[in-house]
Amino acid sequence: TQLLEQSPQFLSIQEGENLTVYCNSSSVFSSLQWYRQEPGEGPVLLVTVVTGGEVKKLKRLTFQFGDARKDSSLHITAAQPGDTGLYLCAGVPGGSNYKLTFGKGTLLTVNP
């Protein structure tokens, strides 16, 4: 089983602060996705990264895929209360393009 470890598990910050959350594995993934999940909702896809070293920006969110395709990070600049939620990373093992392996998530709370 290819595991994805996310850290930190919980993060509580003030509005306006910057933060980074991490997603690490000892295994190589052909691609990796980040989702945000709010209470009572399903996860919503934020981004897919495919190439080692790839960096993608989505407004105040910056996603990076490690060169070796074993890890990824999500950086949020000037966090806002609307960023509050559970951030999940999910990887696609080599040889599959549908069977996602999910991390346990980082629960982010941004206080006004």
Binding residues (CB under 8 A) for other proteins: these are 4, 30-31, 33, 35, 40-45, 48, 50, 88, 90, 92, 97-105
C-beta closer to other proteins: residue 76 or 88: 88
Centroid of chain to Cα 9: 12
- Report CA Rg, the chain: 13
The least CB distance from residue 78 to other proteins, in Å, is 27
The least CB distance from residue 82 to other proteins, in Å, is 19
Phi and psi torsions of 93, nearest 5°: -60, 155
CB-based contact 23:6 (threshold 8 Å):
yes
C-beta closer to other proteins: residue 3 or 78: 3
